[in-house]
Structure 1
């Protein structure tokens, strides 16, 4: 990796933004920023001195280092090598960065930087590299040293990004979801590398260990640590704020790509109790939304203010840039006895500037904050060019700007010790890292360690104690013996960090602490410590953690905190797999969820384990335990898989079909459909069709038979449809059959179906050639209107690959493909027809109806619809061009893992959707209406297309008025 120092004026970036489109002049832009009374904003730097600032950090002298990314083109990274790192300084304290130099140039894919250990660390895929400057003369000492490689070059704006030092002395970074990376030390074999996608990771600067800290969300682009060392990350599209717990598995966007460990089962939920594109009520997606509450769902960076200048009410607040909302949101991090909660506070900054795109925030030695502005009218998914010649840095100060002279690199060891008690965490963090560097250089820090221990023992403030603890750990002054003594400390945060640090070092004997951990698991009441124990157990070898894990699980009981319960499961799951018999001895004492997950895990590997679990049913009379175990068994059975059980075990399940408890009865019906022989199947069918059968049991019988798909199943479905029982569910299940009589029945009753049932009927009819041919015949004869066939369903018929069907489809419905030139013309024409006056006079009620018919099957808006595609409420939907271009040309820019695949089964069914998980045994595909798992043995071919799941031609069958109403609804404030 080349890095050269040159005159920055030699390079002039080229704009690709349309002519005449440019940001406001810097002076006018800063005048349009609104902050609370008492604060003021200074234009610290602007183009041409700085452009495209993607990341910032401070050095030990209080100078601001800026990463400029010219290789980012609005949706992905190019290979041009003009990215560079600048150094800025405010020499007189007026807030303006009046001194500037170029540290290096010639970089590419630059996304993050951090200072430390005699140089600059950078993320620049495929590398995590180090630019040495041991003499601190602001000139690189030589070529960059690559510490890690394998970061994906195809992840677009979900690339590896962001570097920050954690309290534990590791370098933390982030990675998005779109493409996985296989990361390792240069030269490592693929088998020795770590595969990761959306995640938080860390790397030790001297030990050179690399590991994933936690995974999930979608595109984390913000991370910071609070007064107690707890990490919080911000992200986009999904809920915006998450508490970082080592070993956590967070919810991914629309549960894409079921976790690489298929036994995670339930990922952890967000910390925020609100959405920044909804009302201030809890984040249930159902409250009446308004964009006044935060602006949108795209977030960038996270800064927890721990400076010493702003009013105390701001200390501990988390600030994050809301890109679509052109503002900086503020959340309070509240916690009583249990988990953390991100509570919305008034937005800190609002920009009356359509080009404002804050990317990074950092507080410095003066206690005030620098904010960078990408200064563009697009961001990710931007298709209309990039304005590369712009970029701004603002200084946000409480009162007038000021200068604080500092050079921590010249401080003595004892001065660095004293800085651990400083009120401004900038000093604390830099001093801690310097102590760590000096320890790595072999310096004698015995006096410093003694001073730190004295501070720990004497200082009453817990955050100060923790800072001293972290400094001791990072610099090698915290022995295992001392940390084990801290397991009995009176404060929960100290105990929690003692647990964490005892297992943090790979060279320590982690198992030695298990007796203490087990005792704590039985008596500890603190949520912080119990979460730390659950996290620490994942670093203990399987086979050694059972006693502590099961004690933690039993003590947890029916905990009201689901994330703690999930963390306990992540720790206990491998032990369940290793010894199912031992697990069953304690299973009745576990919480209902843990019982269900345990049963599912036991049954997921082999029939003998499943038999072991189901035999346990005869040893308990508790209906709740029986139901939990049966439900876990049912969860373990993959689509169309049948478990072979002994007659006696299968008989146990069959007898439970008539159980008095409804949960037991429902679960037994579902299980019997998959395990029973013909006599058992008949009992399930009786439950399906009997008039007295309750709805839940009938639904379970249908679902179970759909998994089994036995002979005569088409007749079962026909009876349900004719009797108007579970009609929608029966039509969904019908896609598993290829039966002409059933298809004819559906077409005959089509006019009697409601809207939801019609959509399900069309999905069924387009899945196979025979039923699609019958459907087209009905459309040709005018028995069914062509408008009933959606663009996506038309594309499904096209994917069947039958030329005769394709010709008939073209005649009755229209074309499915347009040339790029036609799409451009259509976009321009539609934008002209949707002028503001027409949008203003459109009918929102009718627009809502059009949305529900055409969009709600994949997208949520104002709490209505499904989450197959991105949530629209917080998207950039006020921008007409953004909406029109994405609807007319949805496949213009589709990342590989979001492309449409056409899966052909061996029995002639075509399933169109995006592949979310693929293993040796099965493929999971997300269609526009459901998630389908197909066994590998039942797949004939899978064809990956260049198209988005969202079809072309969505507007083709809408009138001008319907189109106006739809766009008005999409751009509105909601009901």
Structure 2
């Protein structure tokens, strides 16, 4: 198997990547440079939506390469500078980043003083103010830095958390530190992820954060993970709903909090981020800048076939390709209809795109707000709006990194790249302010001078920045004199935002004293005296009850979350019972999640009512299932007792999900309740009973199935096995039916099914049937099941053998059987791809590791420079495309796809072909030179002793989906995982030279380069 996952991230400046002979035409004459515009000229380059204009508030040399910013309580601006962006592989570039503090000393609205607050920072990509200092994201650390001696430079530099992974391209690291109304900082960990530990506890068990956000308490430094996924940019609306973006998708909505999903470890959760843009596929960006000459040339070369790469329909630009910094406008300076709109930067097209969010079910849809134009566009090709911020004056601020080249260098053919200047503009950078016509600037805020009671009043301010900053200061101060005014504001605030913030601020004050977590639950080990704690909780309960009856549904939604710790209170239970019929769908959806915290029949009854009312919506069913963790059996019994609901599509779907989780959880009481409900069904609904029984049996292990005493269950089981035996080998049945039957053979005892499996692995059987049989065999514990696979090994095709490899290497006993056959010469070491050899060497099993080292001695261990040198002659030979195609289809299709053949697991070859033969050779033979984190191989060890190896495809709070080298995916519940660890290797580590000769390498490269 050839895996080229490292190619996208290889050294763009290396001598190993010179253009091939057929691509040496000098393009310099077609690639004139576009000069930068000085600020006075740049201002004239902008076109804005009617009613707006733009002002410059900071510029070089005051700042350089800005990528993030945050205002402190007095309006001073802290800016993160990231000069290393796109220059990570330039050995001559030595600059580091910093945090600068900008001040407007003369009050004219323009920052005129800059102080280097924190210096010598590697890749600082995020900054947030707290307690007179700043939190800084500087991979691999999250730092807290503070000036305590008044010289304007931080003398405290603490490592708060360590372990964030680095993205060499600089686009996908932790970013966007946002203060939430829940009194926590929300941090996007982006695609790089990592495994973090507290800075003061380096030996603590690391917390994996792939595909997650983290929430951290700035006062206690406690953190937790929550749902999240995006690239660069994250924002929350007034109510804490989260939105992210990635390069080609301007806005995704984070639908739910992974904390809820984690309550039901047997539930396979849906992806948390959903694309809500209704026009992402349309080439409707209204760009006002001329296309850069290099971009025009690249498109021409791609469409003509001179270089390889996506042609994108022949479009040079004008479509989403560099979106970043999604931000919800929450100010008060713009017209009211602008509040809640989403702004996203499009750095490749020199513009800012605006979208209007409208409710759609429990989520949203984002539509283009400016028809026929953009909210902000510049004719200056250097304008790169990478982030935005809501300001103290109610306006939107734009962070402009201002670079000649913003695209990562690996996306540009070397024939073009050699004429470009990635470092150009590293010493430049600007911050702009978008203001409405007739805007009157406010005096700089001085919130640090306000009393705590005055800050409470600001929670009702129309500008989101004031509310957020007042909320942060109140949590920071922990002033108990604010309890009474906060309680009053909960019931009497002018705005729903103010009432919500007051409730959250009160919770933040009482939660710290009562040691509650973010959900309002009191932590164990609380040292507050009983009477005092009781009084605090009563005060909070009282205000929660007020908010549960608020006229605004958004306030009610937040109140439900905060009332989860007070479910023992009869008044709270009564309010929740009424909210089942709330007119707002999101209120009911939140209730479906929160009901998991209400024990007893009341919670079950409420969930049943919600299911009947809203269960047609898959998101509602998911919420109900998160709350079903401790009541799956009673819920199943209740739904089966409802003659109308159980036959509705939504009812059947929910019952099937309940049967699945009951089978996985294997709690006797829940199994009994489900079977009682099934046996009570009328004869006319026997089909439903059979479907549910089948679902249950498929999730139970053999020992648990044998324990079931129900006659009807045993009858269904016997019928399923008999049907599977008959259909699996019936050549007259469809391949799909036969594959399903082959998988169902796992319900049979192995001794009885073994002869059938041997028959199904015959090479004359359809590939899908063979793979289904292997999948079923992999579920057996018997050593002899591995032997059946190995007996068929010699006759398996490459694709089926890849699946067989995954099955055999999934159990330690089978691995040793496999090694026995290698030692006896029945299987050759060359038949095992290098990726699997490397993974065997990474195992925790000492016996397997020792045997692997002995059997595969030398495989993949050669010095890469020597191997590359040995294969250099391949570059001088004219390869045979037809032979290369055959080699590719034999060795590479498990991970790569060309001409419609193969699996797309590794990097897109269409974006790699343009890099030339030298580039391909080096990275085929040295795939671990640079590996994007998402292409690292992982080993998942299950509680049952199975090992699943591959790339992590998706992750949720309850499950991990792994894409294996045979092209199949398997979703593993976290509850079943004993361990999950990265190998630190690309999915094809070193050693491919063992599979291919020099002439064959020439053929393979010729094929890849020749294929569009």
TM-score, normalized by length of structure 1? 0.69
- Change in Cα spacing, 1:359 to 1:244, as seen in structure 2 (3 Å) is farther
Equivalent residue for 2:657, pick from 594, 597, 608? 597
Q: Separation in 2 of the partners of 1:436 and 1:647?
A: 55
Q: Note if contact 2:352-2:375 (Cα within 8 Å) is conserved in structure 1.
A: yes
**Partner Cα distance (2:470, 2:450) in 1:** 9
CA distance in 2, matches of 1:945, 1:110: 27
**What residue number does 2:69 align with?**
56
**In the TM superposition, what whole-angstrom CA distance separates every residue of 1:28-56 from its partner, at most 9, and x where no partner exists?**
79959875455666665556543453421
Q: Secondary structure at the match of 1:172?
A: strand
Give 2:268's aligned residue.
265
Aligned to 1:254: none
* Deviation for aligned residue 1:926: 2.6
Residues 680-727 of structure 1: CA deviation (Å, up to 9, x unaligned)? xx5531232346756655333201225768347575356557796644
Aligned-partner SS, 2:187 = strand
1:332 paired with 2:360, answer: no
Shift in Å, 1:533: 1.6
1:317 Cα deviation (Å)?
A: 2.4
Mapped to 2, the partners of 1:497 and 1:909 lie a distance apart of 42
1:101-140 residue pairs with structure 2 within 5 A? 101-105=115-119, 110-123=124-137, 130-132=144-146, 138=152, 140=154
Q: Does 1:243 align with 2:254?
A: yes
Q: 1:687, 1:693 within 8 Å by CA — same for their partners in 2?
A: yes
Aligned pairs for 1:339-358 within 5 A: 339-343=363-367, 358=385
How far is 1:437 from its partner? 4.9
Instruction: Give 2:8's aligned residue.
Output: none
Cα distance in structure 1, aligned partners of 2:663 and 2:938: 31
Please point out which of 917, 925, 948 is paired with 2:986: 948
Structure 2 distance, partners of 1:437, 1:60, is 12
Counterpart Cα distance in 2 of 1:26 and 1:86: 23
Which residue matches 1:486? 547
The alignment status of 1:891 with 2:928, answered yes or no, reads yes
Contact 2:486 2:502 in 1 (8 A): no
Deviation at 1:212, TM superposition (A): 3.3
Contact 1:127–1:151 (CA under 8 A) maintained in structure 2:
yes
1:430 alignment counterpart = 469
Equivalence map 1:653-732=2 (5 Å): 653-655=714-716, 669=720, 672=721, 684-690=724-730, 697-705=737-745, 710-711=750-751, 715-716=755-756, 719=759, 726-731=766-771
Are 1:307 and 2:334 an aligned pair? no
* C-alpha displacement of 1:495: 1.7
Q: CA deviation at 1:570?
A: 1.6
Rounded to whole Å, the distance in 1 between the matches of 2:981 and 2:459 is 59
- Identify the range of structure 1 (606-615 vs 847-856) with the bigger mean alpha-carbon deviation: 847-856
Q: Give the Cα–Cα distance (whole angstroms) in 2 for the partners of residues 329 and 144 of structure 1.
A: 37
With the length of structure 2 as denominator, give the TM-score of the two structures.
0.67
Match of 1:571 in 2: 627
Alignment of 1:775-924 (within 5 A): 819-820=864-865, 858=895, 868-869=905-906, 889-894=926-931, 898-900=935-937, 913-914=950-951
| 2:343 alignment counterpart | 319
Mapping of residues 266-665 of structure 1, within 5 Å: 266-274=269-277, 278-279=281-282, 300-309=324-333, 314-321=338-345, 328-336=352-360, 338-343=362-367, 358-366=385-393, 367-373=395-401, 375=403, 387=423, 389-390=426-427, 392-398=429-435, 404-409=442-447, 410=449, 419-420=458-459, 422-437=461-476, 440-443=478-481, 454-456=492-494, 462=496, 466=500, 479-503=540-564, 514-516=572-574, 518-520=576-578, 522-537=580-595, 540=597, 546-547=603-604, 550-551=607-608, 553-556=610-613, 558-560=615-617, 562-576=618-632, 580=633, 584-586=637-639, 591-606=651-666, 608=668, 612=672, 613-614=674-675, 616-621=677-682, 622-623=685-686, 625-627=688-690, 629-630=692-693, 632-634=695-697, 636-637=699-700, 643-646=704-707, 648-649=709-710, 652-655=713-716
Moved more, 233-242 or 159-168: 233-242
Quote the offset at 1:98 in angstroms: 3.0
Aligned residue runs from structure 1 range 79-90, under 5 A: 83-89=97-103
- Partner SS, residue 443 of structure 2: coil
Q: How many residues align?
A: 867
How has the CA–CA distance of structure 1 residues 264 and 110 changed in structure 2, closer, same or farther, with 3 Å as cutoff? Answer: farther
Q: Deviations over 1:66-96 (max 9, x none)?
A: 12357889789x9x99653211245678886
Q: 1:353-379, CA deviations, whole angstroms, 9 ceiling, x for partnerless residues?
A: 898765432132341322142846566
Where 1:604 maps in the other structure, the secondary structure is helix
* Cα 1:328/1:75, change in 2 over 3 Å: farther
Tell me the equivalent position of 2:782.
none
Q: Go from structure 1 to structure 2 and tell me whether the alpha carbon gap of 1:965 and 1:127 turns closer, same or farther (over 3 Å shift).
A: closer
1:9-44 deviation digits (Å, cap 9, x = unpaired): xxxxxx997899999765279959875455666665
Report the equivalent of 1:676.
none
Q: 1:235 to 1:372 in 2, by over 3 A?
A: same
| RMSD of aligned residue pairs (Cα, Å) | 6.4
Q: Residues 262 and 442 of structure 1: is their aligned pair in 2 closer, same or farther, counting only changes over 3 Å?
A: closer
Q: Deviations over 1:798-821 (max 9, x none)?
A: 9998999989x99xxxx9978247
Aligned residue in 1 for 2:237: 226
Partner of 1:9: none
- Partners in 1 of 2:347 and 2:920 — Cα distance? 17
Aligned to 1:285: none
Q: CA deviation at 1:316?
A: 2.3
Deviation string, structure 1 residues 500-551 (Cα, Å, up to 9, x no partner): 2334xx7x6765565135413542342210222234345x376698436634
Query: Which of 926, 929, 941 is equivalent to 2:964?
Result: 926
- Distance across 2 between alignment mates of 1:212 and 1:943: 20
Classify the secondary structure of the residue corresponding to 2:135.
strand
Distance 1:617 1:963, change over 3 A: same
Cα distance in 2 for partners of 1:110, 1:741 equals: 52
Post-superposition shift, 1:496? Answer: 1.2
Aligned to 1:174: 188
For residue 773 of structure 2, give the secondary structure of its aligned residue in structure 1.
helix
Unaligned runs of 5+ in 2: 1-10, 16-27, 285-311, 511-535, 778-785, 810-814, 843-847
Q: What's the secondary structure of 2:629's corresponding residue? A: helix
